[in-house]
């Protein structure tokens, strides 16, 4: 593929901002748009061509059932805070769980495989926003809880790299203070 300048992409990236998950409403990306987004997302760097990630799509009644099971888990533990945090999962019409399935014991370090799964989340987020949808990448308690991950269909060795919430933003995302790259950058000198 030829590499050509794309200033419009740079302009878009310089203005990128996540929408609040609780502002995401109908309509979400269509099935064809979701397919296109997933095809974009898997174009990440993937050392060894391992595809160390997969997707779990939560939408409609199935998403409501998954959220209800997670809510029952949290309520059973008397964890009102975790119940409240589920609003970010319940509100958007579509959520894509990006599952990291790094494989140990290979020449490619697990860390590189996990970073590839994070890159999938990034491209999914950016792709959705480039389509005009609101998107938010979340990891919450259910991303780190073994019982919750089992509810979402993950194997014990799998982890959630992120849950990308998708829909139409009810309000424009607000800008926030950004890190100063100069304060975070050094130049190595021999």
C-alpha distance from residue 159 to each of 34, 137, 148, 185 (Å): 22, 15, 11, 31
pLDDT score of 173 more than 90: no
Q: Which of 47-61, 108-122, 124-138, 173-187 has the lowest mean pLDDT?
A: 173-187
Q: With contact defined as beta carbons under 8 Å apart, do 63 and 92 qualify?
A: no
Rounded mean pLDDT, 45-72:
97
pLDDT score of 105: 87
12-46: buried (b, 16+ CB within 10 Å) or exposed (e) per residue? Answer: eeeeeebbbbebbeeebbeeebbeebbebbbebeb
pLDDT score of 174: 81
- Total-model pTM: 0.94
Query: What fold, for 20-171?
Result: NADH Oxidase (3.40.109)
Specify whether the backbone of 157 is left (phi greater than 0), alpha (psi in -120 to 50) or beta: alpha
């Amino acid at each position: 593929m030829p590499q050509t300048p794309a200033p419009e992409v740079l302009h878009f990236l310089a203005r990128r901002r996540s929408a609040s998950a609780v502002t995401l409403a109908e309509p979400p990306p269509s099935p064809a748009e979701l397919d296109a987004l997933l095809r974009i997302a898997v174009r990440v760097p993937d050392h060894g061509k391992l595809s160390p990630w997969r997707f779990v799509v939560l939408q409609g009644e199935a998403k409501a059932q998954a959220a209800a099971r997670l809510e029952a888990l949290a309520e059973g533990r008397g964890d009102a805070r975790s119940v409240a945090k589920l609003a970010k999962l319940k509100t958007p019409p579509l959520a894509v769980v990006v599952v990291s399935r790094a494989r140990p014991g290979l020449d490619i370090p697990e860390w590189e495989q996990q970073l590839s799964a994070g890159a999938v989340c990034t491209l999914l987020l950016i792709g959705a926003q480039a389509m005009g949808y609101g998107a938010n990448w979340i990891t919450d308690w259910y991303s780190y809880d073994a019982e919750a991950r089992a509810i979402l269909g993950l194997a014990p060795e799998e982890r959630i790299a992120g849950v990308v919430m998708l829909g139409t933003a009810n309000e424009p995302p607000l800008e926030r203070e950004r890190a100063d790259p100069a304060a975070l950058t050094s130049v190595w000198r021999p």
